[in-house]
Amino acid sequence: MKPAPFDYFAPTSLEEALDLLDRYGPDARVIAGGQSLVPMLALRLARPEVIVDLNRIPALAGIAEEGSTLRIGAMTRQAMALASPVVREKLPLLHLGLENVGHPPTRARGTLGGSISHADPAAETPMIMLAYRATMVIAGSRGERTVDAGQFTLGTFETCLEEGEILKQIIVESRPDEGTGFAELSRRRGDFAMASAAARIRLDDAGKCVEAHLMIGAVAPVPLRCDAVAQALVGEEPSEACIREVVRLIDLDVFEFDNPEISLAYRRHIAPVLARRALMQSVTRARELRK
Amino acid sequence: MAIGKPVVRVEDERFLRGEGRFTADYTLPFMLEAHILRSPHAHARIGLVGLDEALALKGVHAIFTNVDLPEGLPPIQCRIPTHGDLSPYLQHPLARDTVRYVGEPIAVIVADTRAIAEDAAELIEIEFDPLPAITSPQQATADGAAPIHAPGNLAGRWGFDLGDVAGALKAAAFTASDSFSIQRHSAMPMETRGLLASYDAGRNLLDIYGPTKVVHTNRNMLAAMLGMGEAEIRMIEPDVGGSFGARGEFYPEDYLIPFASIRLKRPVRWIEDRVEHFAAINHSRDCTFDVNVCADKDGIITAFDVKLVTDMGSYIRTHGDVVPSHAAASFPGPYRVRNYRVDAMTVMTNKTPTGTYRAPGMFEANFARERILDRLADKMGIDRAELRSRNLIRPEQMPWHVGTESVKRPTIFDSGDFPLIMDRALQAYGWSAPFEREADGWKRGRGICVLVEPSGLGPFEGVRIEVDQHGKVQIFSGSSNQGQGHETVLAQIASETLTVPMDRIRVRHGDTGIITFGGGTYASRTAIMGGNAVHSASVGVREKALKAVAGKFGIAVEELDLREGAIWHGRKNEPLVTLGGIARMLMPGNQEILTSPSAGNIPDNDGLVVTSYVRGVPSGAAVFAVHMADVLVDPETGETKVERYFVACDVGRQLNPLIVEGQIVGGVVQGLGGAFLEELAYNEDGQLTTGTFADYLMPNVYDAPPITALVFEESPAPTNVLGVKGVGEVGPSGVGATIGNAIANALGAVSGLNKLPLTPERVLHSIGFGGQV
């Protein structure tokens, strides 16, 4: 469990980091919190020639609030985001999700950007950013570009980041008038999800749903957007019976993951349960907002 | 008086301060580091091995493969009596022409650093000719299965047939039968294994830091393999971060690292990393039981009929077939069942070799027996605890001879009032009290497991107690300490008899250089064996001191008294001389007692020092325990949550209630890992698929339920002076059964929940999910 030899750089500015990535091209890999990369290095499953450490670039971390827009630096620690009053108030779904991310020691090092860029299908934060329809700011030596969260995650451990690029920031619009919910099932609290669900819902004055989002995670390479469920909810008064009905619209055929201990059948069984719970939680919160 | 006091462990301070010294904390000048190249294949023939490129790497000192080992080196011996001859299945320290499990050592690379050695490992070229892997006993014993070893894959078939099982089954009013499987899992101590071997070529002395559990036994095995004198090898146990039974085997590395040090004439250190640990530590538990139980119309159990199949892995190691032997011998548990039949098979597969893990064979047998008893009770329509109570061995039937034997020792329960403890346990828990069957859509269930855990096995144990001239007491113990708190309890026992405060007593252990013989630490034995040796040596010190003072002052021994660490004149009620003073008196340099060399025969004047060895009791001391738990189950997802867990047991006599409670609570948490989470799983190619802590889940502190230990001292063990019974294994022993029973109770499940671990998916299966029941 000793990594293969590599060269190590710890730049102090984003420009410097991008220069290093440019210089070493495919041989280089960035390290953020290291909660996934360090074990992969130790197991020699990852063997980059060069490691570019982003931990000493202060500008990459922190949460900035501009009106209803939140800009989250990619190097913001999961623990810091979880403890942030701004996140709790403005992005409650992210707060709920972060409670399920790893354990206190891993959250103390792990970063939001690192988790999103790692693109583990069972990870919570990429799914939540998809649920929020967040915008990813990507930095490269030729400048910045932005992509929607939906275009960012492409598959298992696969993103749209090109060689030499770094996820710099995540831009999320806060919706104070919505309720959110999150449900996850894992073998042990904080571990990889067997399935997870994230929901956002907005109700009108009459208690009817005007907008809904539902995501299912950990069942396929990319978190699933359950737009059919969301569409079916619009215009409805989301009672428990109604929600029980609409979660049947989750497209179970696109579920892929099947392991000896966590079968595809089981994931198909629990995902609608978790979806229902996440939706119910979001409806309850949305109703509380109207009081 | 120190015995029975909740003394805070003397070890804790140094551990909490980070001042413990573990194997990896030791370095020596000119030390090199070793890395073991292990088989990536479950089963393959080894062809050409190319070392040139690896040897050329800067910083590499040597690479040893099988051809470098001495000609005629025997395989690692099994040191425990086995059922039948298992010698064809023994493992050589390095693979010869065939590898038989993923992780089998093939080469030892010694380099300046571990990192260089790992780099070199990647440069070693080996031609493997892969063979089909056998990963289950069913496969191994199927017609036409290729033999992993020449004599075939069924290594042993044996059993017991007591009473008239067939007759009982025929006459039964009620029967229940099912199969139960206990998954492969094992000890995951916080500290992995490690060794630092240092060979002094000039004097032919070999020091080894890192061994533990049974250092004298392993030292003797190593001496035989190396052709060295036993006293020329010193094994030294540093602080040890956990063992749980898995750490004392004579592993291939226990030969390889000393061998490398001898060959290179330099200290060589090997620190197992976690990935290695998963494949290299002995695995355990992996077995299935087919159980038939029957009872008469009054609910008296009339027979157990059992078939036990154990997956032994690829080699027979130092512990032989002790795990299935224990399981088979003790299957009937605390019940007076005279008709008992077991047909046991030990089967070889291409998986890591197996050995002991806390409550070996017992966790497994208890799971199968206690789950089937719940089925039987349900069929009879009587309370599950009532069925058990009716069948408990009665106090007047003690000592109870089960009629079986394990590793050639008869299975005997020495003492105990099982019905009394059972009643008190049920009452304390509130077993019969009605409870809410539902909470927020979750179902609540209550489970029970009743068991007897053997303890204090093994042939002997010994200590030497030395009192120095300052009155400080050193206890040199032949047993080892891997975190159990022996430094505390052994000092308590000495403190009691010697009337010396705890802070003037030190316990040293696990070092072949400090005491000639030692049994070691296993089978919950140190309180019993080491404890009684300390007691007996302390009595010896007291007698020696009294005699010395009687001689010196001309006072009869009967008029003297040992109090507050000094000898008092009983009649005058005044201190005469302290133990330190007596130690000074008895020092060989004292002219008053020194004998002239011309006297020829030098009498015993080795100071205030007493060595005492106590002989073991073949069947040890039996601990009766009752486990109970309330568990919530989400019927939609199969999620579970243990609300409360309870263990009542009779330990005869508590030496330290804090440590007793700690052993039970920690043991229960470990058992919960086996019940819910932990599994060393293999795929069909024989690859270990749970080889990191990302996949092999252990219980963590966040999810530990409230655990209560109710400890009784009703039946002191009649076979040792202190009356103690071992408490190290009653914690995990009943957890699988209790949890399985509680979940079944919650869901009203009449089938299933017979395979550990109880994953959410399996929990749902028991109520028909996925068409499986």
pLDDT digits over B238-277, tens only?
A: 999 999 999 989 999 999 999 999 999 999 999 999 999 9
Closest residue to B697, CB basis, from A188, A265, A270: A188
Closest residue to A269, CB basis, from B118, B697, B769: B769
User: Do B621 and B717 form a contact (C-beta atoms < 8 A)?
Assistant: yes
Look at residue B772 and tell me whether its pLDDT is greater than 80. Answer: no
Q: Are residues B558 and B446 in the same domain?
A: no
Provide mean pLDDT across the span B84-111.
97
Nearest to B385 by CA among B396, B398, B373: B373
Residue A246's CB: how many other CB atoms inside 10 A?
25
Residue A8's CB: how many other CB atoms inside 10 A?
9
Instruction: Establish whether this prediction's ipTM goes over 0.90.
Output: yes
- Tell me how close the Cα of A198 comes to any Cα of chain B, in angstroms: 17
Q: Is residue B656 part of a domain?
A: yes
Predicted local confidence at residue B602, as pLDDT: 56
Pairing of strands B505-509, B473-477: parallel
Look at residue B594 and tell me whether its pLDDT is greater than 70. Answer: no
Which has the minimum average pLDDT: A83-92, A184-193, B13-22, B528-537? A184-193
Say how far apart CA B425 and CA B712 lie, in whole Å: 10
Closest residue to B637, CB basis, from A44, A263, A270: A270
Say how far apart CA B328 and CA B344 lie, in whole Å: 7
- The answer to whether residue A5 neighbours chain B at the CB level (below 8 Å) is yes
Residue B573: pLDDT band with limits 50, 70, 90 = confident
A266/B760 touch (CB, cutoff 8 Å), yes or no: yes
- Residues B427-436: tens digit of each pLDDT: 999 999 999 9
Q: Are residues B734 and B603 in the same domain?
A: no
Q: What is the 3-state secondary structure (H, E, C) of B706-773?
A: CEEEEEECCCCCCCCCCCCCCCCCHHHHCHHHHHHHHHHHHHCCCCCCCECCCCHHHHHHCCCHHHCC
User: Do B327 and B362 form a contact (C-beta atoms < 8 A)?
Assistant: yes
Q: Are residues B561 and B601 in the same domain?
A: yes
Look at residue B592 and tell me whether its pLDDT is greater than 80. Answer: no
Closest residue to B697, CB basis, from A187, A263, A266: A187
CA angle A283/A286/A288 to nearest 5° reads: 110
Say how far apart CA B63 and CA B123 lie, in whole Å: 12
Residue B604: pLDDT band with limits 50, 70, 90 = low
Give chain A positions within 8 Å (CB) of B680: none
Max CA pair span of chain B? 91
Residue B387: pLDDT band with limits 50, 70, 90 = very high
Residues in chain A: 291
- The answer to whether residue A194 neighbours chain B at the CB level (below 8 Å) is yes
Predicted local confidence at residue B498, as pLDDT: 97
Predicted local confidence at residue B600, as pLDDT: 63
- Tell me how close the Cα of B356 comes to any Cα of chain A, in angstroms: 25
Predicted local confidence at residue B574, as pLDDT: 87
DSSP state of B598: G
Residue A200 tokens, joined: 């956002």
Which element (helix H / strand E) includes A246? helix A240-246
Q: Are residues B747 and B718 in the same domain?
A: yes
Q: Are residues B623 and B611 in the same domain?
A: no
Nearest to B648 by CA among B422, B332, B466: B422
A187/B759 touch (CB, cutoff 8 Å), yes or no: yes
Q: Is residue B669 part of a domain?
A: yes
Q: What is the 3-state secondary structure (H, E, C) of B452-480?
A: EEEECCCCEEEEEEEECCCCCEEEEECCC
Percent of chain A with pLDDT over 90: 97
Q: Are residues B359 and B234 in the same domain?
A: no
**Distance linking the first and last C-alpha atoms of chain A:** 56
- The answer to whether residue A189 neighbours chain B at the CB level (below 8 Å) is yes
Best mutation target, A100, A101, A188, to test chain B (most B CBs within 10 A): A188
- Residues A219-228: tens digit of each pLDDT: 999 999 999 9
Say how far apart CA B293 and CA B303 lie, in whole Å: 6
Pairing of strands B205-209, B233-236: parallel
Predicted local confidence at residue B682, as pLDDT: 97
Predicted local confidence at residue B770, as pLDDT: 72
Residue B591 tokens, joined: 């002219």
- The answer to whether residue A183 neighbours chain B at the CB level (below 8 Å) is no
Residues 6+ apart with CB under 8 A from B191: B22, B23, B24, B240, B241, B242
- The answer to whether residue A103 neighbours chain B at the CB level (below 8 Å) is yes
Total domains in the fold of chain B: 3
Compute, in degrees rounded to 10, the torsion defined by CA atoms B186, B187, B188, B194: -120
Look at residue B603 and tell me whether its pLDDT is greater than 70. Answer: no
Single-letter code of the amino acid located at A135: T
Interface of B with A (CB under 8 A): 114-115, 118-119, 122, 273-276, 636-637, 639, 677, 679, 681, 689, 692, 694, 697, 699-700, 702-703, 759-761, 764, 769-770
Q: Are residues B121 and B222 in the same domain?
A: yes
Look at residue B358 and tell me whether its pLDDT is greater than 80. Answer: yes
CA angle B132/B137/B141 to nearest 5° reads: 75
- Residue of higher predicted confidence among B378 and B593: B378
User: Do B351 and B317 form a contact (C-beta atoms < 8 A)?
Assistant: no
Provide mean pLDDT across the span B174-191.
97
Look at residue B438 and tell me whether its pLDDT is greater than 60. Answer: yes
Residue A28 tokens, joined: 């280089």
Q: Are residues B608 and B634 in the same domain?
A: no
Nearest to B194 by CA among B318, B281, B99: B281
Query: Residue B423's domain is classified under what CATH number?
Result: 3.30.365.10
Q: Is residue B175 part of a domain?
A: no
Residue B277 tokens, joined: 């640990």
Query: Residue B268's domain is classified under what CATH number?
Result: 3.90.1170.50
Say how far apart CA B346 and CA B313 lie, in whole Å: 9
Say how far apart CA B417 and CA B426 lie, in whole Å: 14
Last residue of a domain, one of B280, B302, B326: B280
Phi, psi at A124, each rounded to 5°: -80, -45
Q: Are residues B483 and B597 in the same domain?
A: yes
Residue B595: pLDDT band with limits 50, 70, 90 = low
Say how far apart CA A188 and CA A193 lie, in whole Å: 9
- The answer to whether residue A275 neighbours chain B at the CB level (below 8 Å) is no
Q: Are residues B97 and B71 in the same domain?
A: yes
* Domain span at B741: 287-409+416-456+618-771
Nearest to A70 by CA among A54, A85, A49, A48: A85
Say how far apart CA A15 and CA A11 lie, in whole Å: 9
Interhelix angle B362-380/B735-747, nearest 10 degrees: 30
Predicted local confidence at residue A290, as pLDDT: 79
Q: Is residue B142 part of a domain?
A: no
Look at residue B548 and tell me whether its pLDDT is greater than 80. Answer: yes
- Residues A107-153: tens digit of each pLDDT: 999 999 999 999 999 999 999 999 999 999 999 999 999 999 999 99
A2/B636 touch (CB, cutoff 8 Å), yes or no: no
Predicted local confidence at residue B773, as pLDDT: 40
Provide mean pLDDT across the span B386-393.
98
Q: Which residue of B has its CA nearest to A43?
A: B275
Last residue of a domain, one of B562, B593, B615: B615
Q: Are residues B393 and B515 in the same domain?
A: no
CA angle B309/B313/B314 to nearest 5° reads: 130
Provide mean pLDDT across the span B726-747.
98
Residues 136-155 of A with CB under 8 A from B: none
Percent of chain A with pLDDT over 70: 100
- Residues B336-352: tens digit of each pLDDT: 999 999 999 999 999 99
Phi, psi at B306, each rounded to 5°: -130, 140
Set out the domains of chain A in order of their start, with CATH numbers: 7-53 (3.30.43.10), 58-173 (3.30.465.10), 178-290 (3.30.390.50)
Q: Is residue B539 part of a domain?
A: yes
- Residues A205-240: tens digit of each pLDDT: 999 999 999 999 999 999 999 999 999 999 999 999
Predicted local confidence at residue B571, as pLDDT: 79
Cis amide leading into A11 (omega within 30): no
Q: Are residues B216 and B90 in the same domain?
A: yes
Query: Mean pLDDT of all residues in chain B?
Result: 96
Look at residue B1 and tell me whether its pLDDT is greater than 70. Answer: no
Nearest to B696 by CA among B673, B678, B682: B678
Give chain B positions within 8 Å (CB) of A103: 700, 702
